[in-house]
A = this chain, B = another copy of it.
């Protein structure tokens, strides 16, 4: 028997705007940050999780996580860990906290951090990586973790169970195959706005040489630049190589249709975030107008109900789940089920600090137990800030290798946390401001923009 003793939150920020290489159309100067949670027990162990933000407001996000302490501290650990569907629903339906969303924004991301930290602790106690902890559950146990409220017009309980039962067939063989081959990654490294054409070409070649079988370019700031860069990339990579583009919500509906049609001759593999992510009807209108060009979104989609609608309306071809935007892995489980129901591949968003480490568990879970074999599945990768984590991702020949260490991947090195505490850690305290050259623990790497 053990008891939760503390819910510690730390405001950790990396001064990535000091060494900015890339930038996108909506996020010019991010300081990659983590509202970092450690949920401690009197047995001496702890669960960790983080919410990724891009700087200002990380203190607000930290305060929101801390506000959840009364829900956990003093409670029996084993009891809580045995019913992680229960605590997820308890937090989501706390009526007073719910008023602050409902089910969106700062408070939902805070709930996600607590849910994810609880899963980290459970996986550690089981000695397994999170994806395997989840994949080891029965279809009925997985379903118990999901909240189908507001979903049943698109996904009934029976359909969800059927998906999970189908997912359980051949699970062991899929686990073995995934441990061998991993899940394919794609890289956003070559495509940041502001790179010269020469640098774009050089980085595209390097990506191909590193084994990546897909790349992504940022677009949306200037139509002529977008067309030229996309043309150069297509010429360099050849006609069959998947090249996605990402507009970071820059366009309205009509603008998006016009811009995508202008780029369509260069065969973009998908167009990501063409507009505001909550605009279900706009996504449907854009997709219909530009078909067969694929539409993708999700990194800033707040919850399962929005994903449900994007799928119902035929708004997306690719669902980009994020590890820290929604109310934790339980919410992501519902999202994976919805994607499976609509036969839309899940290609998780990553790149932000800790996101690669965390989101790979979502993809491996999907591959093992829900979506199953799907050659369309790819995880975003940016080679950035991994050295701050206890277990950095492993990329081999352009694929994420299955994490085998216990936990959810979020645990950061203590020295990294201490160095980057905001505003009093050494990186920030010496009055360097965001443009100072000193204080980063490492040489700047490309790219350090938002994804």
Contact = CB atoms under 8 A, between A and B. Distances in A.
A59 B53 contact: no
B285 A306 contact: no
In the complex, which of the residues A67, A95, A109 has the most CB atoms of chain B within 10 Å of its own CB atom?
A: A95
Interface of A: 26-31, 53-57, 59-61, 63-64, 67, 94-110, 149-153, 249, 252-254, 275-282, 285, 300, 302-303, 305-306, 308-309, 312-313, 450
A60 B64 contact: yes
A234 to B, nearest CB: 29
A336 B277 CA distance: 22
A84 B57 CA distance: 22
A228 to B, nearest CB: 25
A282 B153 contact: yes
B153 A96 contact: no
B276 A99 contact: no
Nearest to A29: B95
Contact of A64 (B55, B106, B254, B302): B106
A357 to B, nearest CB: 19
Nearest to A100: B57
A283 to B, nearest CB: 11
B149 A57 contact: no
Contact of A99 (B57, B151, B279): B57
Contacts of A253: 152-153
12 contacts: A30-B99, A57-B64, A57-B107, A100-B106, A101-B105, A103-B276, A105-B107, A105-B302, A150-B252, A150-B275, A278-B278, A280-B309
A92 to B, nearest CB: 12
A158 to B, nearest CB: 14
Q: How many subunits of this chain does the assembly comprise? A: 2
Contacts of A59: 63, 67
A247 B55 CA distance: 39
A321 B76 CA distance: 43
Nearest to A256: B153
A97 B30 CA distance: 10
Which 3 A/B pairs are nearest by Cβ-Cβ distance?
Answer: A105-B105, A106-B106, A56-B96
A97 B61 CA distance: 10
Given A278-B278, A305-B276, A309-B279, A153 B285 contact: yes
B60 A107 contact: yes
A172 B107 CA distance: 44
Given A150-B276, A278-B306, A107 B104 contact: no
Contact of A281 (B279, B309, B450): B309
In the complex, which of the residues A53, A55, A57, A103 has the most CB atoms of chain B within 10 Å of its own CB atom?
A: A57
Nearest to A101: B105
Contacts of A102: 249, 276-277, 300
B97 A56 contact: yes
In the complex, which of the residues A61, A151, A281 has the most CB atoms of chain B within 10 Å of its own CB atom?
A: A281
A30 B95 contact: yes
Given A57-B107, A64-B60, A106-B60, A96 B305 contact: no
A109 B103 CA distance: 14
A114 to B, nearest CB: 14
Contact of A57 (B28, B67, B249): B67
Contact of A27 (B67, B95, B110, B249): B95
A391 B330 CA distance: 46
Contact of A31 (B56, B96, B105): B96
A302 B104 contact: yes
A310 to B, nearest CB: 10
Contacts of A280: 280-281, 309
Contacts of A54: 95-96, 99
Contacts of A279: 150, 305, 308-309
Contact of A95 (B26, B152, B252): B26
Contacts of A252: 149-153
A52 B111 CA distance: 21
Contacts of A306: 278
A88 B53 CA distance: 22
A450 B96 CA distance: 10
Given A106-B105, A300-B102, A96 B53 contact: yes
